[in-house]
Amino acid sequence: MFTIAVIGASGLLGRALVRELGTRAGWRVVPTAHRRVQGEMAALDVRDAAAVASFVDRLRPDAIVIAAAERRPDVCERDPIAARALNVDAVRAIASAARQCGAWVLSISTDYVFDGSAPPYRIDDRPAPLNAYGLSKLDGERALAQSTELGCVLRLPLLYGPVLDWAESAVTSLAPAVVASQAPGASPAPMDAWATRYPTYTPDVAYVIRGMLELHAKGQAVCGIAQWSGDEPMTKFEIASRIARALAIDARLEPQTTSGEGTPRPRDCHLDSSRLEALGIGRRTPFDVAIAEVLSTWPTPAPSLR
C-alpha cells in the first residue's frame, strides 16, 4: 500500500486533496488537522516538532503533502513570528522527519514569493517577496531544501474551490459584496482592478498533485521547485463580474485602479507551469465552469467538510 499523509486536510486545498487522492486504488490517505479534526483525521499540531516526528515515525508514509500554513497575508504581517512557526519551522520539522523514513515531501508555496513586477515567473527566477507572508513561505521553501533531498515545493497562485464559508477563499469572499451591491439604494461595491490574478481551482491542483504522486510511486519523484497556475488572467473586478454573471445578478461594481493601503501585494505573479506540463501533468477547468459549480449552492456554502 502506498501511504500518503496529507497535513492540513481540513483546509481549502487539503479537502480537495483528500477527495482526489482517496479515489485511487492502492493508495492509503492519512489526513491530519489541527482545530477542525473530523472523521478519520489525525490531530496534529505541526508546531510541535516532537509530535510531528512521532507521527511520521509511526506512520512511515511514502509521501507527505504539507497543506498546513498561515496563508492570510494580513495575519502574517501582524504576527510574523506566529506565521514563521507554521510556514517555516513546521516545514523543517516535517521534512526532517520525512528524511528519516525516506518519504517524499511536497510542500505548498505561493506566487507571493515574487514581487510581481516582471511576469511570467519561471521556477529559477529570483524571488523577492513584498510582505511577511511571502517571506515566510520563501523561507519555508529554503527550510525544505535544507532538510531533505527528496522534497519538492509546489508554488500556487490564488486558490478557489468548494468552500465551507464564502470567506475561505479570496475569490468566493467577493460573492456577498457582489450580491449586496444589487440591493436598491446600495452603493457600488469597490473591486480591485489593479492586480492581475490567475485563480486556480483546488480540484485541479489536487489532480496535479495526484500526477506528481504517481511519478513518485514509479520512482520518478519530482524534486526541487515546481509551479502550477490557472491560465486566465483577471483582476478581482473581473472575478466579481463573472461571479455576478454566474449568479445572474445585476451587480454594481466600482473598479479600483490603484494598489491601495495595507499589506503590500504584488501586481502580477503569473507562474510559468512548464516544468509540470512537460511531464504531462495538468488540468485547467475553465473559470466560468468551476465558479458556477462552487456557487451552485448559493447562498449556503457546502455544509460540511468535503
Ligand X SMILES: NC(=O)c1ccc[n+]([C@@H]2O[C@H](COP(=O)([O-])OP(=O)(O)OC[C@H]3O[C@@H](n4cnc5c(N)ncnc54)[C@H](OP(=O)(O)O)[C@@H]3O)[C@@H](O)[C@H]2O)c1
Residues that bind ligand X (CB under 6 A): 8, 10-14, 33-36, 44-47, 67-69, 71, 86, 108, 110, 137, 156-159, 170
Please write down the long-range contacts of 246-250, taking CB distance under 8 Å and 24 or more positions apart. Answer: 246/288, 246/291, 246/292, 246/295, 247/175, 247/178, 247/179, 247/295, 247/298, 249/178, 249/179, 249/182, 250/182
Between residues 45 and 293, which has the closer beta carbon with respect to ligand X? 45
In the complex, least distance from residue 186 CB atom to ligand X, rounded to whole angstroms:
27
- The three-state secondary structure class of 74 is helix
Contacts of 219 (CB under 8 A, 6+ apart): none
Q: Give the residue closest to ligand X by C-beta.
A: 11
Between residues 181 and 268, which has the closer beta carbon with respect to ligand X? 268
Give the residue ranges of DSSP H helices in 196-265: 202-217, 236-246
Q: Which one, of 90, 81, 97, 101, lies nearest residue 34 by Cα? A: 90
Q: Which three cell numbers stand for residue 130?
A: 513584498
Between residues 134 and 181, which has the closer beta carbon with respect to ligand X? 134
Between residues 133 and 181, which has the closer beta carbon with respect to ligand X? 133
In the complex, least distance from residue 188 CB atom to ligand X, rounded to whole angstroms:
25
In the complex, least distance from residue 288 CB atom to ligand X, rounded to whole angstroms:
19
Q: How far is CA 118 from CA 26, 29, 300, in A?
A: 43, 39, 39
Which helix (DSSP H) or strand (DSSP E) does residue 151 occupy? strand 151-156
In the complex, least distance from residue 231 CB atom to ligand X, rounded to whole angstroms:
16
In the complex, least distance from residue 187 CB atom to ligand X, rounded to whole angstroms:
27
Find where cell 481551482 sits: 201
Between residues 200 and 241, which has the closer beta carbon with respect to ligand X? 200
Between residues 10 and 181, which has the closer beta carbon with respect to ligand X? 10
In the complex, least distance from residue 34 CB atom to ligand X, rounded to whole angstroms:
3
Q: Which three cell numbers stand for residue 169?
A: 477563499
Q: Are 270 and 231 in contact (CB under 8 A)?
A: no
